[in-house]
Structure 1
């Protein structure tokens, strides 16, 4: 059975994870737009917002301008492709059960790791890199939810930003310990996805103020 070759250097892996994250988050935005009965233009707008907002915020903050999504047309093409896939194939996607959550969890893991890795590559210290990882992972979802007048999941749902932070911690710890970056990145993205999905299935949530 043929296997997909694993990128053997960190920069290539981060780009691949970024592009896959763009497509997956674009699917989550497009699927939500279809559920809200938006037209094709609305579906594509929501896909672009969900897929690209987090990465744009990250690149602007670290001075990587123009942002990657404007320098490399593959980002825009991946986001648009995700929108068209959601528009035409939303029925099989919905058979996943909780499709937006599953896609969101996958994108969350990919963007958290890619965001942290890129921030570290630009020379940021671990704490700012972790914060940028969370921003990268959550920014698109926040924009997606606001555009359809929903409270962003990062503010009210189960473990969300904390899952992204876990991925960043794994990447930072791996770099500090001198571990191979590719397996560390894969482990970080997987940990984010698993924690996010399990938290939803088990009803876990971040601590709330006492008495509320």
Structure 2
């Protein structure tokens, strides 16, 4: 079952954004070429592969479609060859991570809806697609996953997935609606970073 081109486009853009975030983070940790490509691919495709397995879209697109691997390799080479330029971007890992979050939440929710017709599962898979790559990146690089911290992270993915699912459920097929969901998720994540919005944190104190 093929997705409409616009969602495939969002999926590939999300792959590029997450591949760049993974490659940059790996480069910052001083990994070699193989390590950078491995992290970039796992970050770019990990969440999507888990989503596809969960909804029965197998073999997973990230393993079957050569474009995903090519994007991961390209992002790795770009990061290595133009690292000085990339570093000039303010917080490059978080920027590309936010973009990937929005793209994958929308594309993931729509694909899960196409395969299952279940709105709850579609939203959950949209969030999983969006946050899975970041979790894999942080685990591979021995960092606390952002989704487990107090930052507004999964909430931004949830917003994008809910908007997309609302449109799918209502029969809205306009790409502009999906773009709205993507922009809402990315916007919330970037604003949370800019203004340091955090979810409540609870301690053991009474």
TM-score, normalised on structure 2?
A: 0.94
Where do 1:92-171 residues align within 5 Å?
92-171=85-164
Cα distance in 1 for partners of 2:33, 2:200 equals: 39
Alignment partner of 1:83 is 2:41: no
- Whether contact under 8 Å (1:175, 1:181) holds in the other structure is no
- Number of aligned positions between the proteins: 204
Over the aligned positions, Cα root-mean-square deviation in angstroms equals 1.6
- Secondary structure at the residue paired with 2:34? helix
Cα distance in 1 for partners of 2:185, 2:203 equals: 27
Q: 1:157 to 1:103 in 2, by over 3 A?
A: farther
Q: 1:157 to 1:82 in 2, by over 3 A?
A: farther
Cα distance in 2 for partners of 1:77, 1:98 equals: 25
- Cα distance, 1:95 vs structure 2: 0.9
TM-score, normalised on structure 1?
A: 0.91
Large movers: runs of 4+ above 2 Å: 175-181, 207-212
- Cα distance, 1:211 vs structure 2: 6.1
Query: Unaligned 5+ residue runs, structure 2?
Result: none
- Whether contact under 8 Å (2:134, 2:145) holds in the other structure is yes
Where do 1:163-202 residues align within 5 Å?
163-202=156-195
- Whether contact under 8 Å (2:102, 2:160) holds in the other structure is yes
